[in-house]
Amino acid sequence: MIEKNDWRLMGQEGYLKGVTLKYDQYRQYSEDWDHDHCEFCGEKFTFDENPENLHEGYSTLDEYTWICNNCFDDFRLMFEWKVSTQ
């Protein structure tokens, strides 16, 4: 069970509580960005072939915010996320 003082919690409930997420391959939000980080733990998402980076995970529908599989599993209930099937 996740504790409310988990080091990964930094106020994300203000903008991620109850949102709908989708599972997808990472795509950069902007031409100016070459990577993103998990909104909770900071793991790196990229579209390159580097096996040390994440290449898929959960994102907001606008693909602006990314969440790794582990953090999704850990915070799914606390944040009351819905997952889009589209």
Per residue in 35-64, pLDDT (tens digit) is 999 999 999 999 888 999 999 999 999 999
Q: Is a pLDDT exceeding 80 seen at residue 1?
A: no
Question: Pick from 26, 81, 17: which is nearest to 54 by CA?
Answer: 26
Could you tell me the pTM of the whole model? 0.92
Q: Is a pLDDT exceeding 70 seen at residue 15?
A: yes
Structural domain spans, the chain: 22-83
Main-chain dihedrals φ then ψ at residue 70, nearest 5 degrees: -65, -45
Percentage of the chain exceeding pLDDT 90: 78
CB-CB contact of 65 with 59 (8 Å) = yes
